[in-house]
Amino acid sequence: MHTHSRQQELISQLFEQWIGEVPAYIHTLPPSGSDRKYFRIHYSKGSVLGAYNPIEEENTAFLSFTKHFRSKGLPVPELLAEDTSNYVYLLEDLGDTTLFSLLPHQREPVLFENDVMDYYRKILDILPHFQIEAAKDMDFSVCFPRHAFDRNSMMWDLNYFKYYFLKLAGIIYDEQKLEDDFQSFCDYLLEADDQYFLYRDFQSRNIMIRGGEPWFIDYQGGRKGALQYDIASLLFDAKANLHPGQREEMLNYYIQSLQKHIPVEAESFRAHFYGFVLIRIMQAMGAYGFRGFYEKKPLFLQSIPYAKRNLLWLMENDKIPSCTPYLKQIVEKIIKSPSLKQYDKPSTGLKVSIRSFSYKKGFPVDESGNGGGFVFDCRSLPNPGRENAYKKMTGKDIPVIKYLENEPAVREFFENTTALVEKSVETYLERGFVHLMVCYGCTGGQHRSVYNAERLAVHLAQKFDVTIDLQHNEELSWPN
């Protein structure tokens, strides 16, 4: 049996054991940067997520942490069922809205709106509960691949950066001088109190927004460590591109939030904070190099200019630890590298034109001259326009969105059409094409087509470095 089919079969079997019902259908979610695979299982009462992960130790860590966090009342998905012998488990479905999807996605930092900053404040109020309160009686023996962010963990990250970013980007360095600075850097970082839970990948893509509240996922790499690492991960999350002024505001807010749990000497905390910012950026750049230079996935190379901008900010504000003079020279080389400048511009200039339209009034005009692209017919989907309550609304209005999101057929349609579009975007990026058109049509061009076009625009902006041109052809004729 095909591997993927076998995984889906195991997920389906576990689901049937859990609920006593055969799934209506199972949809594979887009792959992440790991061996884990996620499936959305639709059934009579809604949907749940199924996960397959062949790494037993990582599963043990995730399942143990999830049960522990739930017992503390922390907002993580409920574990519904598990079959550890077959590496599968079921989780509460938190939806598709990440914090990252709500950000403006501009190449230059812009001030985030108040509602987005309110989410950051809520997140920073909750983070110490993971780090401090939950850590008090946590079983750190299940951590994988390392029980603590200790010297070995730090050196793994630093060498990952050295061999997969510096080497593959063609940055010339003195091996011994860099090794000496790495050791000094670790000594410096290890001065910080490290008896807390370190989430490890605390970034905007791993924070879901549901019901106006943040929920937290992907903490399976957690371990014992310093408080500074996770806040550094969130505030210097490369493509989130948080404005420096708001970054400083949120750092102050976090320190105040911490002080409700433990005494914190703010200046000492800040001093080590920027060291953890630097190692987090280096770890991320190692990942960009591995996925981008080595595995030839151009999407990851699009994050390089954001990471370079963060390094430049550290340099200009004298935040590189003084114990790492040679590493500081390497950071300067990265910032000035001619070969890396090619990534400073949009990687392809790919523009994705997304249109909603009414079949009664005809197909949208392709203004690019390329002959059009995808046209998806939404008319088979449940139609909110048939109900009086929604007649004067559109696919942008919350009641209509909720109506459509509750329909399994709508969810399946969006997931299937998005999977097709994603494949084309990836190919267009690799081949240097400059335009793709995607159209959603329904009867009146007001509800179903608008909903799908809006969702696709957010999804593509979140996942790819492309220009989005979203237009609703019937917008002028919508009822007031």
What is the residue-level pLDDT of the chain in tens, covering all 480 positions?
A: 456 679 999 999 999 999 999 999 888 887 666 679 999 999 999 999 999 999 999 999 999 999 999 999 999 999 999 999 999 999 999 988 899 988 887 778 889 999 999 999 999 999 999 999 999 999 999 999 999 999 999 999 999 999 999 999 999 999 999 999 999 999 999 999 999 999 999 999 999 999 999 999 999 999 999 999 999 999 999 989 999 999 999 999 999 999 999 999 999 999 999 999 999 999 999 999 999 999 877 778 888 999 999 999 999 999 999 999 999 999 999 999 999 998 886 555 788 999 999 998 888 877 666 667 899 999 999 999 999 999 999 999 999 999 999 999 999 999 999 999 999 998 888 777 888 999 999 999 999 999 999 999 999 988 888 888 899 988 877 776
Rounded alpha-carbon distances, angstroms, from residue 407 to 116, 174, 191, 414: 28, 59, 53, 11
All domains of the chain in start order, with CATH: 3-92 (3.30.200.20), 100-343 (3.90.1200.10), 351-477 (no CATH)
Reduced to 3 states (helix: H, G, I; strand: E, B; else coil), residue 160 is helix
Instruction: With CA atoms as reference, report the closest residue to 356 among 385, 386, 377, 383.
Output: 377
Strand 467-472 with 351-358, pairing: parallel
Q: Is 19 exposed, middle or buried (0-12, 13-18, 19+ CB in 10 A)?
A: middle
pLDDT of residue 141: 97
Strand partners, 48: 41, 92
190 is written with which tokens?
């290890």
pLDDT of residue 367: 65
Decide: 364 and 425 in contact? Cβ < 8 Å: no
Amino acid (1-letter code) at residue 381 = L
pLDDT of residue 4: 63
Tokens 């060498």, located at residue = 159
What is the pTM (predicted TM-score) of this model? 0.78
DSSP secondary structure, 406-472, as one string: T-HHHHHHHHHHHHHHHHHHHHHHHHT--EEEEEEEESSSSSHHHHHHHHHHHHHHHHS--EEEEEE
pLDDT of residue 160: 98
pLDDT of residue 33: 62
pLDDT of residue 414: 95
Instruction: With CA atoms as reference, report the closest residue to 285 among 264, 267, 310.
Output: 310
The span from the CA of 185 to the CA of 232, in Å, is 16
Using the CB atoms, write b or e for 391-423: b if 16+ within 10 Å.
eebbbbbeebbebbbeebebbbbbbebbeebbe
Task: Say which residues have a Cβ less than 8 Å from residue 411's Cβ, sequence separation at least 6.
Answer: 27, 40, 42, 47, 405
Strand 435-442 with 351-358, pairing: parallel
Q: Is the torsion defined by CA of 144, 147, 153, 157 positive or negative? A: positive
pLDDT of residue 1: 47
**Prior bond to 31 cis, omega within 30?**
no
The span from the CA of 444 to the CA of 400, in Å, is 14
